[in-house]
Amino acid sequence: MLTSLHIKNYALIDELNVTFNNGLTIITGETGAGKSILLGGLSLVLGKRADLSQVKSAGEKCIIEAVFDIASYDLESLFKTLDLDYDVQTIIRREILPSGKSRAFINDTPVTLESLVALSSFLIDIHSQHQTQQLTQDDYQFKVIDALAENKSNLEVFSKQLVVFKTLQKSLEGLKLSKAELIKEYDYNLFLSKELNEIKLEKINLEDLESQYEELNNVEIIGEKLSSTKELLSSEGVGTIDQLNSAKQELSKISSFGKPYETLKERIISVGIELDDILIEIDNLEENLSTDPQELDRINSQLQIVNNLFQKHSVSEIEDLIGIKNDLQSKINNTESLDQSILDKEQDILKASEKLNQIALKIHKNRKKVIPVFVSKLEAVLLDLGMPNAKFKVQLEPTDHFVKNGKDSLQFLFMANKGSSFNELKKSASGGELSRIMLAIKSILAEYIQLPSIMFDEIDTGVSGEISNKMGEIMKQMSGKMQVFTITHLPQIAAKGNSHFKVFKTDVDNITHTQLKKLNEEERVIEIAQMLGGLTITDSAREHAKQLLN
């Protein structure tokens, strides 16, 4: 419930501080006194867009602060979702700065307007002529029926399962899209993979292959050079080995004359041994040297294939080709396994659909069960509100597809007069009729769920006499379970309130100010008497006012 309201520097209000109680609160005042200003300030707290033109003094900050007792509203989870500290005495503040910027706070924590609107919708409901259009909207009609059907827990389960169902559907769409894309590339990937598999990349040592190619391709030159080298080393008399032996003999003659000469001789001997080994190696190479045109062609062909693959795939290493081959095989495997994945996902969707259908059926049965009760209650209240011929019909039809709250379509049909036919509510009910229907529905809802505080803005427009008295009775009954405000011009309704506030204007130094005052018992008598008979209060008007109050 709204426990207090503070408004500063807003429209015609300098500063206003007011506290409210539970029950039925009446707000009266002459036309133009500023009741709409009060509603406008409250609307800002609830998340309405701020406008610098609403600020009374442009050089000062406009502040509107409302305190709510939310102990009975079960909003802890919402506060957690909004990342706010929960407090049963919750303070909402809006500020409009001289620059035109606005700020919003919940329990002194800065919040966005989205967060403010998300919370405020659970705190107070300002009912105006415009809001009656909600009656014609599917969401509101479902909200009414589901409240009576006690479908809250079923709807929560359905909502969670619907998220699972839609996630699976989205995943299936992704798989099918992937399959369509992969199929386009499948044949080409298969060709590339086959090409890379045929060459046995893991067994290729490119360095060895190139070395073998060079040897086979230059076998004649290699043989010629080996032969000439051997000749240089081993020619009789002039070969390197004979020359080296002569040098060794010469050094042997002086090796006993000192260590340096002995060392030179040993080094010559070592060189001779190495040359002997070289000659043996040359002999072995010559012996094994052979021409093999077929092997040369094979190696050349293999190198050509590898180089072509390097060029085709824009790489330069065998390891890169192996990586590409593995990627291609993975794509091929994915394409070939997608059918099974799609089949599995379709089975998951079928199971999720079955669960949704079971929950939707429960929701449907609960709705169907309470519709006659709702229609009966509604027509009974409308009878009291001066609509004796009003008839309602609620059409509930199962559909083939899931929506956010089940698997039904819902339509409120209305017939205002005898002899007419049922038609959609928005086409068959006038504005005044819609207001009374909304009042009737909210009075019924108050029996089933904890409604937020509600403020009726001149809902009694166009009614009088006994009907207005019934309206007041209904609002009085509602106030036993919730906080109810009503802005009214009718004394019959004003007299029903637990508390009564008057909005009025004063002129100070040629400046008009709007003020709000809580009336005492005597002031209430005067106010209601004036509502009955005008500014000049007669004894009969005063007595009538007392009778209404008592």
Q: Which of 47-51, 59-63, 271-275, 365-369 has the lowest mean pLDDT?
A: 47-51
Instruction: Give yes or no: residues 209 and 322 share one domain.
Output: yes
Residue 129: what pLDDT?
Answer: 60
Which of 41-50, 261-270, 280-289, 364-373 shows the lowest mean pLDDT across its residues?
280-289
Which CATH number does the domain housing residue 21 bear?
Answer: 3.40.50.300
List all residues 6 or more positions away from 140 whose beta carbon is below 8 Å from its beta carbon. Answer: 134
pLDDT for residue 287 is more than 80: no
The pLDDT of residue 428 is above 90: no
Strands of the sheet containing 499-508, edge to edge, are: 124-127, 453-457, 484-487, 24-28, 499-508, 511-518
The verdict on residue 42 lying in a domain is yes
Listed residue (177, 499, 175, 466) closest to 338, CA to CA: 175
Report pLDDT for 517: 92
| Residue 431 placed within a domain | no
Name the residue with tokens 């609620």: 394
Tokens matching residue 548: 């209404």
The torsion angles phi and psi of 325, rounded to 5 degrees, stand at: -60, -45
Range of the domain at 276: 179-336
Q: How far is CA 163 from CA 168, 362, 401, 405, in A?
A: 9, 18, 14, 12
Q: Are residues 104 and 250 in the same domain?
A: no
Inside any domain, residue 153: no
Instruction: Give a yes or no: residue 476 inside a domain.
Output: yes
Lowest-pLDDT choice from 30-44, 149-163, 489-503: 30-44
Amino acid at 486: T
Please determine, for residue 441, whether its predicted confidence score (pLDDT) is greater than 70. Answer: yes
- The total domain count for the chain is 2
Domain identity same for 92 and 188: no
Same domain? 233 vs 110: no
Mean pLDDT of the chain: 87
Same-domain pairing of 328 and 199: yes
Distances (CA, A) of 30 to 487, 503, 514, 527, 533: 11, 8, 12, 11, 13
Instruction: Let me know whether 186 and 330 are in one domain.
Output: yes
Would 172 be classed as within a structural domain? no
- If asked whether residues 197 and 310 sit together in one domain, one would say yes
The band of 137, judged by pLDDT with boundaries at 50, 70 and 90, is confident
Helix-strand-coil split of the chain, %, nearest 5: 60, 20, 25
Q: Do 191 and 321 share a structural domain?
A: yes
**Confidence (pLDDT) at 217:** 73
The pLDDT value recorded for residue 292 is 72
Q: Is residue 243 part of a domain?
A: yes
End position of a domain, from candidates 303, 336, 369: 336
When pLDDT is cut at 50, 70 and 90, the band that residue 395 belongs to is very high
Query: 3-state class of 59 per DSSP?
Result: coil
pLDDT digits (tens, 9 = 90+) for 171-206: 999 988 888 877 777 677 778 778 787 777 777 777
Cα(89)–Cα(36) distance, integer angstroms:
26
The last residue of one of the domains, among 336, 371, 399, is: 336
Q: What pLDDT, on a 0 to 100 scale, did the predictor assign at position 526?
A: 94
Identify whether residues 84 and 188 lie together within a single domain.
no
Same domain, 111 and 183: no
- The residue out of 336, 356, 373 marking a domain boundary is 336
Among 112-126, 313-327, 380-394, 468-482, the minimum mean pLDDT is found in 313-327
Q: Where is pLDDT greater, at 533 or 133?
A: 533
Do both 32 and 117 map to the same domain? yes
Classify residue 480: in a domain, yes or no: yes
Give the tens place of pLDDT for each residue, 292-344: 777 777 777 777 777 887 888 888 788 888 888 888 877 777 777 788 889 99
Cα 522 to chain centroid distance, Å, stands at 56
23 within domain boundaries:
yes
* Interatomic CA distance for residues 305 and 361, integer angstroms: 67
Q: Check whether residue 188 and residue 318 sit in a common domain.
A: yes
pLDDT digits (tens, 9 = 90+) for 262-283: 899 899 899 888 988 988 888 8
